[in-house]
Amino acid sequence: MSMFKKIGISIITILALGSCYQPQRDCSSFRDGEFSFTTTINEEEVTTTFIRKGDLEIDFFEGKVDSSSVRWINDCEYVVKKLHPRNKAEEKSVHMKILTTSDNSYTFEYNIVGDTRKSKGKAIKIN
């Protein structure tokens, strides 16, 4: 087999393998709705629910209700900012980026705006 033929086959194989898996990312389906998110805080699993509609998000956590503004950067990224922060930490905006989606959930990455540390989570659409 000639060298050019081997190189051609190698390139085709690499392209075929690289294009086999494309994670689903239909972010527009998760722009509005009711969601739940479970995380671990101080070794305890806690769940929050939230409703997002347009530029408003309402969070329900441990019997408390809070609201935030939502500013969409593009179909898969947005910034959340508390409307009525109770302390300095709550004054900071949070950047959210949807990484992958499924039929009823999305995996996301988030961080405080200006902070390089990122965390990941999964939100489930419940309505």
Task: Kindly state the helix (H) or strand (E) to which residue 102 belongs, with its residue range.
Answer: none
- In-domain check, residue 5: no
Start-to-end CA span in the chain (Å): 59
How far is 6 from 24, CA to CA, in rounded Å? 33
Q: Is residue 15 part of a domain?
A: no
DSSP assignment of 26-51: -GGGGSSEEEEEEEEETTEEEEEEEE
Quick one: pLDDT at residue 42? 86
Q: Which of these, 99, 77, 95, 93, lies nearest to 23 by C-alpha position?
A: 99
The answer to whether residue 112 sits within a structural domain is: yes
Residue 56 counted as domain residue: yes
Structural domain count, the chain: 1
Average pLDDT, the chain: 85
Q: How far apart are CA 123 and CA 100, in angstroms?
A: 11
| Most confident option among 24-28, 37-41, 62-66, 76-80 | 76-80
CATH of the domain at 93: 2.40.128.490
User: Mind listing the pLDDT tens digit for each residue in 4-25?
Assistant: 555 655 555 554 555 555 567 7
Domain encompassing residue 36: 23-125
Rounded CA separation 86/95 (Å): 19
Q: Which of the four pLDDT bands, split at 50, 70 and 90, describes residue 110?
A: very high
What value does the mean pLDDT take over residues 39-53?
A: 88
**18 occurs within a structural domain:** no
pTM: 0.76
Quick one: pLDDT at residue 83?
A: 95
